[in-house]
Every structure is written in C-alpha cells, then in structure tokens.
C-alpha cells in the first residue's frame, strides 16, 4: 500500500514507520520535515500536501497539538488550540483525503487515553479525544467506497515518559512499538468506526 504518515518524526510516528515500512510504501509528512509538509491547523496545507502526493491507499496521523494547563487557567483560546489542531486537523485529513484515498482505503487517527481516564491539566486533551472517537464512529457509517476510519487511543508512551511522567503517575506506559501495532491493525485490517485502545 501507499500510505501517508503524518507526524512521522514523532515518538509514535517513528514507531509506526518502523512497523509499516517493511511492508508498505510510506510518504512521510510533518510540520517542518518529511516527504511533504503540512500544518494540521491549516487545512490549505493539508489540501496542498494531498495534491502533491496524489492517490493513496491509507492515511495515518500520529500528530496533533493540545494545551495542557490547569482547568482554572484554561480559556476558550486554550481549548481552540486542540480543537483546531488535533481535532479538526485530523477531521480535515478525512474530509479532504476522501478524494485522494482509493476504494477500501483507511484513515487512522490518534486519540488518547484521557477521554476516559483523565488527568489534572488534561481537560483539552480529554475533550479532543472524546470528540475524535465519536467522529470516527459516526463518519464510519457515511464514508463512501468502503473507506474506513478508526482511532488509535494509546496510553502514555514509554519513550515520552521523560517529558510526561509527572502528569501520568500510575499509568502503565505503552512502548511505542506496541502502540504501532494498533495502527497496523487499522490499516491492514478491515474494521471501521473503531477506537483501538492500547493502554
């Protein structure tokens, strides 16, 4: 398959690349690096990247920004970061990508454990993850040409603990390579409308 991997240089993205590249042709995308560049919060850059890449069999997104901050300090502008980037960036990957992905192809988005196992300072991430899960389920019943959409929802990644450990005390970390299996299941399997939880 020819697969567009957004966020290929990140912690999860590089593990997904390692998992998928042995069997598939990967086109990597990132904000500043990769075969093509795109900014998830700017849909014009998403459209431009798709046009540059041409037809595809699958799209995987392992990128998306949200703001972590105490609820008491969160403003509508702070929530807008996550809504515009991690949520609508990934939704726009589906809306725009529908025209570029072959029959039976798939979109695999990244959510996270916080929608049902929240942490302090994580309300924006929780909100965005809950929105993504419900979007994938509902979009899956409307996508044409057997197109599929799933969300992978990983727990805190072992390789990212250096940055995130204080926020995720008591969470069992997930090696990135283990999370990457769920992306392969989504891309190479046939299920749709699923949240593949890896935690």
Site for its own copies (CB under 8 A): which residue of 4, 107, 110, 115? Answer: 115
- Detail the DSSP E strand segments found in the chain: 2-6, 25-30, 36-37, 56-61, 101-110, 148-154, 195-198
- Please give the radius of gyration of the chain, using alpha carbons only, rounded to the nearest integer: 16
DSSP string, 171-187: PPPB-HHHHHHHHHHHH
Contact region with its own copies (CB under 8 A), list: 27-35, 102-110, 116-124, 161-169: 116-124
Confirm if 106 and 145 have CB atoms less than 8 A apart.
no
Establish if 183 lies at the interface with its own copies (CB under 8 A). no
Establish if 72 lies at the interface with its own copies (CB under 8 A). yes
Establish if 34 lies at the interface with its own copies (CB under 8 A). no
Establish if 40 lies at the interface with its own copies (CB under 8 A). no
Site for its own copies (CB under 8 A): which residue of 6, 88, 101, 187? Answer: 88
Site for its own copies (CB under 8 A): which residue of 75, 103, 169, 172? Answer: 75
Site for its own copies in 134-153 (CB under 8 A): 134-135, 137-139, 141-144
Establish if 91 lies at the interface with its own copies (CB under 8 A). yes
Confirm if 131 and 84 have CB atoms less than 8 A apart.
no
């Amino acid at each position: 398959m020819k697969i567009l991997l957004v966020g290929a240089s990140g912690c999860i993205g590089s593990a997904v690349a390692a998992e998928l590249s042995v069997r598939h042709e990967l086109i990597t995308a990132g904000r500043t690096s990769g075969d093509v560049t795109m900014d998830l919060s700017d849909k014009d850059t998403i459209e431009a990247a798709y046009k540059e890449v041409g037809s595809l069999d699958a799209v995987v997104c392992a990128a998306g920004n949200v703001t972590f901050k105490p609820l008491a300090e969160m403003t509508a502008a702070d929530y807008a970061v996550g809504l515009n980037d991690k949520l609508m960036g990934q939704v726009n990957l589906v809306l725009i990508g529908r025209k570029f992905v072959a029959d039976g192809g798939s979109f695999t988005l990244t959510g996270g454990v916080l929608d049902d196992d929240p942490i302090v300072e994580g309300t924006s991430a929780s909100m965005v993850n809950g929105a993504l899960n419900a979007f994938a389920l509902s979009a899956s019943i409307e996508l044409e040409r057997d197109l599929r959409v799933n969300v992978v929802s990983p727990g805190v990644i072992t390789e990212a603990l250096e940055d995130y450990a204080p926020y995720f005390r008591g969470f069992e970390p997930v090696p990135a390579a283990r999370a990457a299996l769920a992306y392969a299941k989504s891309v190479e399997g046939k299920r749709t409308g699923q949240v593949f939880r890896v935690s």
